[in-house]
Structure 1
Amino acid sequence: MKNIIITGTSRGIGFELAQLFAKNNYNVLALSRNAEPLKKIALQNISTLAVDLSNDNDLQKVTSFVSKNWKCVDIVIHNAGKLINKPFSQLTTNDFLDVYKVNVFAVAELTRQLLPYLKIGSHVVNISSIGGVQGSMKFPGLAAYSSSKGALLTLTEMLAEEYKEEGISFNALALGAVQTEMLEEAFPGYKAPVSSKEVADYIYNFALTGNKFYNGKILEVSSTTP
């Protein structure tokens, strides 16, 4: 059985992804600040950890779990995200830091800590946003969020280059509008053409097979704007 780590699993895409992998007989370690939603489902093959991704000490819970229970990790899906929707004139340095801590720094640190457990054929999938892609349409109020997602795309390319000799693949999916709580926060009242479950199905298949075809790539998964 392959071992899968997914962040941001208390709601939305991550919540659906954890269930999808578990129901298909994969071992899942689900990370989120609130572990209760998945605990209530009590699916076999899902282990939950309440983790604040912005806290490096909390991340050590993850490597401790892997060391004791798995020894290796086949897929990491960095799905967790933080969004602050404010006019740029009102954004503070702390706002930027809060967003970057989750969307960039936590991805880098958790990946770094997991490197000893990633092996040839392992696949790290970073969930970014179409708003982070250079040349895409941008929206007022999302300066911190979109710029952090742009940084995540570059980080993906860098890690793919640095670890290609080890056989570890890094790819990023730049998602467009998906009907999630986060979308509602950014665009109140907007109805996306795809659901969390539909996008979870896409990510599930990409995580399992995408590294056979891609490494260091940014794939735009968007049919609409936003």
Structure 2
Amino acid sequence: MSKIILLTGASSGIGFQIAKDLAKEGHKVYGAARHLEKMEILKRFGVRPIYLDLTNEQTIKQAVSVIIENEGRIDLLLNNAGYATFGPFEDVPLESVREQFEVNLFGLARLTQEVLPYMRAQKSGRIINISSVGGRITTLMGTWYHASKYALEAMSDGLRMESKLFGIEIVLIEPGNIKTPWSEIATNHLLAFSVGSAYEGMAEKVAQSIQSMYAGPFVSEPDFVAKKIVKIINTRRVKPRYLIGRGTKILVFLHTILPTKIFDWLMIKSLT
């Protein structure tokens, strides 16, 4: 059955692939992002590009308003947009921290607030939040990124309980490492923020380890992750959360059973 879908972060990475796959299946997909020119190719598959800046509330309201005016409903909101700011806790400017939280949490939350009344009125709907295995575990030099994803996990858990009465499903998807520009953005931030600091040597080692990791066997292709997410979207009965990608379940299992000091040691050892 064709769904009306609003998908953020559709201009690149797994968002681009998901938008294309869903449109090819016959769903009516509104692909939202700041860079409309990057979504031109998606028009060939039937995706409808729509401008949305998660740091600008007016564009959030306008995007939802356009979809409701055109379609009269939104069946599924896929909160996919997000990015990683890595760097030493002490050296990452709080301005950069706030920018990351605006996209990864507050903008996502505002968009969700805008969509919820329509889903309540239609007594149905599904909201899928793309979190990360980094919302369950914390790695060295990724403190602020993980903080935003941990917050998203807590928000999703609370919203899931509140929305159940109205027939709205909340799903968390927690991917592991994916071959996207994510790692490059994260390491660029890491190196830039640590220049001349007490953590510079450590940051350089962590950046090298991340780059090596993303060239190794425990990284999933975007197409693989996108297909998994599309399958979840098309599933009638969903689970509250899904771990996706190579090594994710092992990592979470180790984090659960190992003493904190041992897990910390493993994280430091693996990245330095």
Q: TM-score, normalised by structure 1?
A: 0.91
How far off its partner does 1:132 sit?
Answer: 1.2
CA RMSD of aligned residues (A): 1.7
The equivalent of 2:109 in structure 1 is 108
The alignment of Structure 1 onto Structure 2 pairs a total of residues equal to 220
- d(CA) in 2 for partners of 1:170, 1:47: 24
In our comparison, the structure showing a higher alpha carbon Rg is 2
Identity within the alignment, %: 28
The equivalent of 1:212 in structure 2 is 237
- d(CA) in 2 for partners of 1:117, 1:70: 12
The equivalent of 2:202 in structure 1 is none
Local SS of the residue matching 1:188: helix
The reply to whether residue 120 of structure 1 matches residue 120 of structure 2 is: no
The equivalent of 1:98 in structure 2 is 99
The reply to whether residue 161 of structure 1 matches residue 161 of structure 2 is: yes
Q: Is the 8 A contact 1:153 1:218 kept in 2?
A: no
The equivalent of 2:35 in structure 1 is 34
> 1:10-25 residue pairs with structure 2 within 5 A?
10-25=11-26
How far off its partner does 1:44 sit?
Answer: 4.5
Whichever residue aligns with residue 238 of structure 2, its letter is: F
Unaligned runs of 5+ in 1: none
How far off its partner does 1:46 sit?
Answer: 1.3
Distance 1:63 1:41, change over 3 A: closer
The equivalent of 2:140 in structure 1 is 140
- d(CA) in 2 for partners of 1:201, 1:107: 23
- Which ranges of 4 or more aligned residues in structure 1 deviate by more than 4 Å? none
- d(CA) in 1 for partners of 2:116, 2:40: 28
The reply to whether residue 73 of structure 1 matches residue 74 of structure 2 is: yes
How far off its partner does 1:208 sit?
Answer: 2.1
Whichever residue aligns with residue 173 of structure 1, its letter is: I
- d(CA) in 2 for partners of 1:12, 1:168: 27
Whichever residue aligns with residue 164 of structure 1, its letter is: K
How far off its partner does 1:62 sit?
Answer: 1.3
Q: Is the 8 A contact 1:19 1:43 kept in 2?
A: no
Q: TM-score, normalised by structure 2?
A: 0.76
Cα deviation digits, residues 92-125 of structure 1 (max 9, x gap): 2212211110111111110110112223341111
The equivalent of 2:247 in structure 1 is 224
Q: Is the 8 A contact 2:176 2:219 kept in 1?
A: no
The reply to whether residue 86 of structure 1 matches residue 111 of structure 2 is: no
- d(CA) in 2 for partners of 1:51, 1:60: 9
Cα deviation digits, residues 143-165 of structure 1 (max 9, x gap): 11111001101111111111111
Q: 2:132 aligns with which of 129, 133, 157?
A: 129
- d(CA) in 2 for partners of 1:47, 1:54: 21
The structure with more strand, counted as a fraction of residues: 1
The structure with more helix, counted as a fraction of residues: 2
The equivalent of 1:197 in structure 2 is 223
